[in-house]
Amino acid sequence: MADEWKKKVIQEKLGGKNDWTEEERAELCRQLDQDLDKHIDEMGKTKYEGGWSEDNWKEQMADHPLFAPYVQEEGVTMGEEAPMNPLSEGLAQIKFDPDHNTPEEVAQSYKEEGVLQFKYKKYRLAVLNFSEGLKQKCSDNELNAQLHNNRAAAQWHFGNYRSAIKDCEKAIELKPDYLKAALRAVDCATKLKSWDEVFTWCDLGLKLDPTDQKLKTSRLTAVKEKKLLERNLRKKAQEEKKKLMEEQNLLNIISSRGVKLGSTVVKGSSSLTLADLEPSHPAAQGSRVHINENGELVWPVMLLYPEYHESDIIQKFTESDCIQDHLEDIFGNDAPCAPWDAEQKYRVESLKVFFEYKAKDQLCKIDLNQTLQQVLTDPRYCVLGGTPGFIVLVDGSKFTKDFMSKYNVCT
């Protein structure tokens, strides 16, 4: 067949002549080379049509019997497996069927498939393939070690660093000189900031390769980070100790003042706790009682206006302040009327202030010239929710008379 083709070309070029000279043969070769060069040049100038492009690659791939299983078909939801065509199913059976392959061959096939999925960043599928390879329980320790190491690499991309370290441990167990597994474990332990583990894996890796610069650098970094962590932990412990001492001092001062708190501890205990001091009202959050530079207690105080179901929070009410002083700020002649006080009757000269003594269902009147400390140290008063609260009423109003009729009023 080749001889007939040659004869045909020669006859076309030499006009059917069967005998030619050496010069004619050389000329024939030269012309053939020119024709080939011309054909190649023309191919470069002609646009290739009908091939795979950025826009149609998925459709082209779906039509190919080998690639079809990897392309999501129309109507198949994400996460749902697309049906496999008969040819692909047959090829998969030949490749993965344990009836046609040894465990080593099946495991190797799953490894190759996992590597392919990993290459295209299909890490979930890569993990599944490496796992299937390990399920074959083949006797090839080298192959099993690679499957564990490869699965660790895929798990790393998910942020499953603990799972990846476990795979590295298995890989090293199967292949003690597996440096790549040790390096990957170092990366995972570093991500977890588990510096002792970094030391362990770096030391193991340096036994395998004492010259590995990455391991040396990682170990030095771990040493610095662990020292920094230990320093921060010591600093945090000191700060917590200082805070605890300050809070205990606060509790001691409150106790020494004779202030009674609504305790949240077990019934029968008289001990004060920090939980007793936390404000329960949302507006008072972040304003817990504290000691100022003069050694005075500063409380968040709530003023209640039951007639209108309104309230005010005075976030910093020093214990030496009088009730009258804060009422002047809120309801004095120079202060604007509250938006809910349409009748403008809440003026400081018309107000009375009380606190509840729930044990005896009493409403106790407060002298407005008393300091907050004097009120809080009244044996009948109890601070609830870390926030002292007082009831403000308009003297002589119908609501005040009706409200006070529900209590035993005392001074």
Asked whether 372 and 324 are in contact (CB, 8 A), the reply is no
Helices first, then strands: H and E counts in the chain = 14, 7
**Percentage of the chain with pLDDT > 90?**
55
Q: Which of the two residues, 33 and 234, has the higher pLDDT score?
A: 234
Kind of pairing, strands 297-305 and 389-394? parallel
Q: What is the pLDDT of residues 157-215, one digit of tens each?
A: 999 999 999 999 999 999 999 999 999 999 999 999 999 999 999 999 999 999 999 99
pLDDT score for 31: 77
Asked whether 205 and 172 are in contact (CB, 8 A), the reply is no
Question: Helices 161-174 and 195-208: crossing angle, nearest 10°?
Answer: 30
Q: Which two tokens stand for residue 270?
A: 């008289």
Cβ neighbours, 10 Å, residue 133: 27
Asked whether 189 and 165 are in contact (CB, 8 A), the reply is yes
Cβ neighbours, 10 Å, residue 353: 20
User: How far is 239 from 233, CA to CA, in rounded Å?
Assistant: 10
Q: Where do the DSSP E strands lie in 14-164?
A: none
What domains can you pick out in the chain, each with its CATH number?
Answer: 2-33 (no CATH), 57-225 (1.25.40.10), 274-410 (3.10.20.90)
* 3 state SS of 404: helix
Q: Where are the alpha helices (DSSP H) in 332-388?
A: 372-376
Residue 245 CA: distances (Å) to CA of 204, 250, 365, 401:
46, 9, 37, 48
Min mean pLDDT across 64-78, 135-149, 254-268, 394-408 is at: 64-78
Report residue 213: phi and psi, to 5°.
-70, -35
User: Residue 75 — pLDDT band, cuts 50, 70, 90?
Assistant: very low
* 3 state SS of 394: strand
Q: What is the pLDDT of residues 85-138, one digit of tens each?
A: 554 555 555 566 666 678 999 999 999 999 999 998 999 999 999 999 999 999
Residues 6 or more apart whose CB falls under 8 angstroms from that of 236 comprise: none
Q: What is the pLDDT of residues 363-393, one digit of tens each?
A: 999 999 999 999 999 999 988 888 999 999 9
Q: How far apart are the first and last CA of the chain?
A: 127
Q: What is the pTM for the complete model shown?
A: 0.51
Q: What is the mean pLDDT of residues 318-330?
A: 93
Cβ neighbours, 10 Å, residue 217: 11
Phi-psi sector, 25: left (phi>0), alpha (psi -120 to 50), beta: alpha
Q: Read out DSSP for 244-263? A: HHHHHHHHHHHHHHT--B--
Residues β-bridged to residue 394: 351
Tell me which amino acid residue 305 is. Y
Q: Which two tokens stand for residue 376?
A: 């809080």
Min mean pLDDT across 150-164, 281-295, 325-339, 357-371 is at: 281-295
CB hemisphere CA count around 77 (13 angstroms):
0
pLDDT at 65 over 60: no
pLDDT score for 271: 59
